[in-house]
Amino acid sequence: MRKVYVLNGPNLGRLGTRQVDVYGATSYADLVALCERTGRDLGLEVTVRQTDAEHELIGWLHDAADEQAAVVLNPAAWSHYSYAVRDACAMLRGPLVEVHISNIHAREEFRQHSVVSAVATGVICGLGVDGYRLALHHVATLAAG
């Protein structure tokens, strides 16, 4: 069974109440349930985590690198400026799918570039929380060979 970490950065724990016009009405608990259900259906061992502490996310990325696990990552605001998160992502030995709920390319100028994208296997943005489901399907396809 392929291990997959679904990691979420700052403010994503506020889904469902934070800027619903941008991020939708799905709660963080609903997102976790979606990822866990999708993972089970695909035969993946999914662990979902969220943090507002950059060092904690970096530690989880290091763990994923050591375990050669796949990662579905929504780095949130850290996408745009955290070279520390980007460097931790570059250490991953499994696939990395970067996910954004909103279309970052259609938002404020400072949000239109992600420093993480250059080291990601792929990027999904603008498809709401369904992007997580699609990312897990991609990881499962890669695991199937």
Q: What is the CATH number of the domain that holds 83?
A: 3.40.50.9100
Q: What angle do CA 143, 13, 105 make, to 5 degrees?
A: 70
Judge whether 105 counts as a catalytic residue: no
Give the model's pLDDT for residue 126: 94
Going by C-alpha positions, the residue among 62, 76, 52, 77 that lies closest to residue 5 is 62
Per the structure, the count of domains in the chain is 1
Annotation says 100 is catalytic: yes
Q: Is 87 labelled a binding residue?
A: yes
Residue 1's pLDDT band, with cuts at 50, 70 and 90, is low
* Rounded CA separation 85/87 (Å): 5
Higher pLDDT, 38 or 143: 38
- Please, what is the average pLDDT of the chain? 93
14 annotated as ligand-binding: no
Q: Determine which one of 100, 105, 113, 138 is catalytic.
A: 100
The pTM assigned to this predicted structure is 0.93
101 labelled as ligand-binding? yes
- Average pLDDT in the 91-119 region? 88
pLDDT tens for each residue of 130-141: 999 999 999 999
pLDDT of residue 18: 80
pLDDT at residue 127 greater than cutoff 90: yes
132 with 12: CB under 8 angstroms?
A: no
42-70 residue pLDDT tens: 999 999 999 999 999 999 999 999 999 99
Query: What pLDDT score was predicted for residue 91?
Result: 98
Which segments of the chain are extended strands (E)?
2-8, 44-50, 70-74, 96-100, 122-125
Domain that holds residue 80: 2-144
